[in-house]
Structure 1
Amino acid sequence: MNSFKTLFKLMFHYDIRDWSTLVFTFLFPIALLLVLVLSFKSYVPGVDIASQISANVIAFGAAYVGIFAGASHLALWRENGMLQTVRNFPLSWNVIILSQAVVGIVVLLAQAVVLVVLGMIMGMVLKPTFLSGLLPLVLGYLLFFFLGVIIAMIIYSIAGVSILANIIILPLGFIGGAMMPVNMLPSWVQTIAPYTPLYHMREALSMMLIGSGTWPHAWLGILYLTVGCITLGLVSIYGFRWK
């Protein structure tokens, strides 16, 4: 427990002092939310789309934080020799990964609060079940976090990790409907969208946060995220230990 607390403090202090983490965690999703709401409000006048867009951006923001928390930090530690140093201490790989995951969850919650407040200012209406939205948010974050760890195991440079993470997360955000309603996308994209994690994050979060969708779809999303999280978690933990 002491080693976990020490690593948590170290990683947390690094994150809050790192300008790139703050930019991509807060400024990027805030800008995305503002652009999408202002653009689509004029495109669809008289229709409440602020709630749905806000839920979509919150889901995308969680995925974005997750994949970079898992990928960039571990790649940086390998590049600057920190992982080699850690090996000299009685720390398991599980503790290292868990510490970074929990730091990311703290950052994620801060991001979610900021985006929810901004969304409400722009017209988002929360439902009484909004706190249950933390479940798909955290599950989705962990799924992408473990995916990021796997990326860091494959790619050895911090630049390569960042490029590959963006190549993965941006198309998934588009296909999953985080940047544009799925029914406005090409038919082939609509066909593959239900197989993507961000689609299920949106479905579950939208129902719990703003009451958009159906509960069967929301629980299906939770099941999808849980299975994906466990699968990628096992691969990343055992793979990272082996590496």
Structure 2
Amino acid sequence: MIRHIALFTGYELKKAFSNPIWPLFGIMQPVLYLLMFAPLLKSLTPGGSTVDALRMFTPASMMMIAVFGALFSGFGLIADLRNGSLERYAVSPAWRPAIVLGRVAKDMIVLVCQAILVLVVAIAMGVRIGAVELVLVLLLMAATGLFASGLSQGLALTVRDENGMSQTLNLFMLPVMLLAGLFIPISFAPAWMQTLAPINPLYHAVEAGRALFAGRLSDSSIPIAFAVFIVLAALTTVWSMRSLRRIAG
């Protein structure tokens, strides 16, 4: 089982890095957000400094990477489904769930690389975070990315069309970003948006990340975010594996 997951993970990583342009863009985009967007938030932070703005925006940037970095990974699965590769994998002696889990593991490895780079840039710009808080942020980011990756694989196997999948993702992307307070804290939003925000799972991850970067380990948003995304990650992963089983017959 583990060997099969490792084989599919290695295969997916090889495909991802066979064209270095896309991994490079995926890694550099959040860094550019950090360098160019965070300074614009200085006037919205209590301290009014770049470090305060980074302390608010860095965890949001990490959660954005986790969700939107993994959410588009299912397009590769649609391509494999179209060219017949997925069916060949499914009838091979390999453990069938490893086909999905290998892709999910690849997404997690890429997310870790992106998170490390973002943290290095944030620390170089003056942000400081404790060891316990850092570990919890990375674990929360992993749970968030696991949910997004499982959702992407399951959606790809259900829709089986790039246009339909892209339209579905684009429909929900903007409201999810705004209601999560990714760029501007939700406390600055109108009252009706603040009322709707807790319905959005990503809101809880962003709030927990900001609490951890502020050193508030006792903040109630942290256990809520972990509970939400552990449950969602389990549900979407199971859904994607069951969708693959239906495809394979």
Which residue does 1:91 correspond to in 2?
A: 94
Q: CA deviation at 1:43?
A: 6.0
Contact 1:74 1:152 (8 Å CA) reproduced? yes
Which residue does 1:116 correspond to in 2?
A: 119
Q: CA deviation at 1:125?
A: 1.9
For structure 1, which segment, 29-38 or 134-143, has the greater mean C-alpha deviation from structure 2 after superposition? 29-38
Which residue does 2:162 correspond to in 1?
A: 158
Q: Within 5 A, what are the aligned runs for 1:1-243? A: 1-19=2-20, 21-23=22-24, 25-41=26-42, 46-47=48-49, 48-69=52-73, 71-129=74-132, 130-211=134-215, 214-243=218-247
Distance verdict in 2 for CA 1:167–1:26, change over 3 Å? farther
Provide TM-score, normalisation by structure 1: 0.89
Provide TM-score, normalisation by structure 2: 0.87
The answer for unaligned runs of 5 or more in structure 2 is none
Deviations 1:51-108 (A, max 9, x none): 1101110111111122122x22211211232112213411243111111111111101
How far apart, in 1, do the equivalents of 2:71 and 2:77 lie?
11
Which amino acid in 2 is paired with 1:46? Answer: G
Contact 1:172 1:198 (8 Å CA) reproduced? yes
For structure 1, which segment, 80-89 or 223-232, has the greater mean C-alpha deviation from structure 2 after superposition? 80-89
How far apart, in 2, do the equivalents of 1:132 and 1:54 lie?
14
3-state DSSP of counterpart to 2:37? helix
Count of residue pairs the alignment pairs up: 242
How far apart, in 2, do the equivalents of 1:132 and 1:237 lie?
27
For structure 1, which segment, 10-19 or 95-104, has the greater mean C-alpha deviation from structure 2 after superposition? 10-19
Q: CA deviation at 1:42?
A: 5.6
Contact 2:144 2:205 (8 Å CA) reproduced? yes
| RMSD value, Cα | 2.2
Percent identity, aligned pairs only, is: 21
Contact 1:146 1:232 (8 Å CA) reproduced? yes
How far apart, in 1, do the equivalents of 2:66 and 2:166 lie?
16
Contact 2:182 2:206 (8 Å CA) reproduced? yes
Distance verdict in 2 for CA 1:79–1:24, change over 3 Å? farther
Q: CA deviation at 1:148?
A: 0.7
Distance verdict in 2 for CA 1:93–1:222, change over 3 Å? same
